[in-house]
Amino acid sequence: MDNTNIILSVENLCVRFKAMKSHYFEKQRYVHAVDDVSFVLPKGKSVGLVGESGSGKTTIARAIVNLLEPYSGDIKFLNKSIYSLSDNSYLDYRKKVQFIFQDPYSSLNPRYTVSEILQEPMELLKVDVSESYQTSMLKLLAAVGLREEQQYLFPHQFSGGQRQRIAIARALASKPELLICDEPVSALDVAVQAQILNLLKTLQEDFSLSYLFISHDLGVIQYMCDYVIVLYLGQIVETGVSEDLFVSPFHPYTKALLDAVPSADPREHFYVPTVECIKQPSAVDPEPGCRYANICPKALRECYSLTPELKQIGETTSVACHLYEGE
């Protein structure tokens, strides 16, 4: 892909954490929370990270905003490694990449009014605004669908959905180009979820934003994203264009994820995976082999010993699975 069109690239990212010891003399083991993950995010597009809890989604997001140090690998924003930026470029990067968290209750300072919450990042990051901070703040409020007089209120005076609107406005305060949304609607009621997702879509158009969208909810990813990355225990098992991946998934894990989505049709039964694991899969000092092998209904002998590489198998699809070798 043309490099000038790429806003973010994650290259062979590995993040490890010390695993809990069960007794003092035990050898230190490591959780390979993110293991050799690479992907690119084209400008103006939405890339979705999907996978069950513990698959490494938040860890990838935290690495991108430099909240943790990777074990190895690189993260490039507009083709420059974020680890080699000068002070000025780093400040610029801090403005251009913003994070929206799952929990709008804990991510807003309860002692600040909305007006203060929105103006603080402008001051801290020395954002260039043609008008006053006050005027930009009012524009942000309008952009996220809040009323002018609500600027004087405190976070606890709002509902969950409105709080998430404040969090979104705060993220927009530094005029970002990339928004990382980590489960932004998971804490909200379904009806409110749809409003927030629609707001994010409108803002993407209005402000030419690129999104890295994290969710364990496939419906949300399908609605929001152009490209999808499916993670399992810290590794990418499948990537593809949203339209194709949801229609014809390849990896057995992606298939299981899609089957697990409850259907509105009463004739379809809920899929309840009945799995008898010999060994519970884990990312703690993993051995070679596919991490999904112990659960996979189609595992071959090599799946237990050879780690499958991510291979392109269609125009837009890549899969890490021994079932699709040699295409």
Binding positions for ligand ADP, 59-78, rule CB under 6 A:
59
Give the shortest CB-89-to-ligand ADP separation in angstroms.
Answer: 27
Distances (CA, A) of 241 to 26, 28, 29, 121, 317: 44, 40, 36, 35, 7
For residue 137, give the DSSP letter: H
Q: Does 164 bind Mg ion (CB under 5 A)?
A: no
209 vs 39: CA distance, rounded Å:
18
What's at 136, amino acid-wise? Answer: S
Query: Which of these, 179, 308, 213, lies nearest to 252 by C-alpha position?
Result: 308
In the list 8, 39, 47, 55, the residue contacting ligand ADP (rule: CB under 6 A) is: 55
Contact 230, 237 (CB under 8 A): yes
Q: Quote the least distance from Cβ 59 to Mg ion, whole Å.
A: 8
Binding segment for ligand ADP (CB under 6 A), chosen from 6-14, 51-59, 191-199, 258-266, is: 51-59
In the beta sheet, which residues pair with residue 165?
none
**Looking at beta carbons only, is 173 or 214 nearer to Mg ion?**
214
Strand partners, 210: 178
Q: Does 46 bind ligand ADP (CB under 6 A)?
A: no
CA distances (Å), 271 to each of 9, 244, 260, 263, in order? 36, 22, 5, 9
Binding mask 4-43 for ligand ADP (x = CB under 6 A): -------------x-------------x-x----------
Nearer to Mg ion, 58 or 318 (CB): 58
Name the one range near ligand ADP by CB under 6 A: 57-65, 198-206, 235-243, 272-280.
57-65
Chain centroid to CA 63: how far? 11
**Residue 275 and residue 280: Cα distance in Å, rounded?**
10
| Greatest C-alpha distance within the chain | 66
Site track 275-314 with ligand ADP (rule: CB under 6 A), x = hit: --------x-------------------------------
33 binds, among ligand ADP, Mg ion, none (CB under 5 to 8 A by kind): ligand ADP
In the chain, the N- to C-terminal Cα span, in Å, equals: 22
CB of 24 to ligand ADP, least distance (A): 18
Pick 44 or 54: Cβ nearer ligand ADP: 54
- Residues near Mg ion (CB under 5 A) are 57-58
